[in-house]
Copies of this chain bind each other. A is one copy, B any other.
């Protein structure tokens, strides 16, 4: 059973609440001999960290990671790696409002209905702060991938914010790090800044679509029929707070294609099979083809907004609520590094699994 654990062999268990003393992640199954230190993980955490610009929550968290176990003299030892992030800005405030009322769109009501008790401070376990633990694990996963198979590159970016989509003709990998939205389209970055500014000032929020691409992943990863690479990616992304849809390759649009258009034709390249297109998103029958692995997911708008919404109290009385606080107008922005982290964990997991499951007699072509 693994209700707070993700992965088959690279096992990631996140723990902690938004306003508890700390949160973190227990990673079991990391291969030994991976060079790692706190700075290498901090690098990725800093990308997700709140309060970096006006488009993300103004909560100020250092998000400083400590390695408590599993690393010796700068390398993993094969034993569990414990990564802890202490909470430092649990601003003392009055929680009496959300203690009694359920915020619409949040998990307040369902946690109460399931558990009969909930840590209502900042959303407790259902807070987006939980994703810091994922990013820490993803940082470790990236280093393990690098040690086992240099050349894999995992990159996330936004492709849509509200009604605004990127222009694929302007797609530029180098642009992604140049703007606060991780958008691969310089024009979009400018336009979206104005749009989001308007939303932010009016206390409104909006959804987004994030795409994560893994390049350099070899063919053969993925374990049919319930540990398929795309199945695990779908679960990984859907498990992120506020995600409501996941697509692989052509995604929902594949419903509109004909078989002739959809089937990526195969050619023989200098280093093995090549494909005329990538409608499959790099996965056939749950197994990687060697093409780019392409995953997209939709993040719903932040539920904490300044408009008055109708709701009920624990005692069943109808009332209203305005969710004040330090919130993201587009939580999808900070979902980009989270999606990257989940991709890294899944890819590493399947690299390990592939070794564990099969023999060395893999199919050669040509």
A238–B244 CB distance below 8 A = no
Q: How many Å lie between the Cα of A208 and that of B285 in the bound state?
A: 18
**A 341-358 binary contact with B (CB < 8 Å = 1; else 0):** 000000000001111111
B230–A238 CB distance below 8 A = yes
Query: In chain A, residues 291-312, which have Cβ atoms closer than 8 Å to a Cβ of chain B?
Result: 296, 298-305, 307, 309-312
Residue of B15, B125, B303 near A68 (CB, 8 A) is B15
Q: How many Å lie between the Cα of A354 and that of B257 in the bound state?
A: 40
Q: How many Å lie between the Cα of A237 and that of B245 in the bound state?
A: 12
A162–B256 CB distance below 8 A = yes
Cβ of A314 under 8 Å from chain B: yes
Residue of B246, B250, B359, B366 near A300 (CB, 8 A) is B250
Given A109-B289, A162-B255, A227-B2: A307 touches B78 (CB 8 Å cut-off): no
A252–B209 CB distance below 8 A = yes
For A233, the chain B residues whose CB sits under 8 A away are: 238
Q: How many Å lie between the Cα of A147 and that of B14 in the bound state?
A: 26
B219–A113 CB distance below 8 A = yes
Query: In chain A, residues 230-257, which have Cβ atoms closer than 8 Å to a Cβ of chain B?
Result: 230-235, 237-239, 241, 244-257
B222–A110 CB distance below 8 A = yes
Q: How many Å lie between the Cα of A231 and that of B236 in the bound state?
A: 8
Q: Tell me the smallest distance from the CB of A80 to a CB of chain B, in Å.
A: 4
As for how many copies of this chain the complex holds, the number is: 4
Given A68-B22, A124-B77, A298-B254: A359 touches B318 (CB 8 Å cut-off): no
A317–B111 CB distance below 8 A = no
Q: How many Å lie between the Cα of A305 and that of B13 in the bound state?
A: 38
A303–B365 CB distance below 8 A = no
Residue of B113, B239, B250, B268 near A317 (CB, 8 A) is B268
Q: Which residue of B lies closest to A226 (CB)?
A: B6
Cβ of A130 under 8 Å from chain B: yes
Residue of B68, B237, B265, B359 near A33 (CB, 8 A) is B359
Cβ of A8 under 8 Å from chain B: yes
Q: Tell me the smallest distance from the CB of A331 to a CB of chain B, in Å.
A: 10
Q: How many Å lie between the Cα of A312 and that of B222 in the bound state?
A: 22
- 21 A-B pairs, CB-CB below 8 angstroms? A1-B9, A13-B28, A14-B225, A15-B26, A15-B81, A22-B69, A72-B119, A77-B117, A77-B118, A107-B285, A109-B273, A110-B222, A125-B225, A206-B257, A207-B254, A234-B238, A244-B249, A244-B251, A312-B366, A314-B365, A352-B357
Further contacts, 9 of them, CB under 8 A, given A107-B224, A267-B318: A23-B69, A107-B284, A110-B287, A114-B354, A116-B364, A125-B225, A245-B246, A260-B307, A276-B310
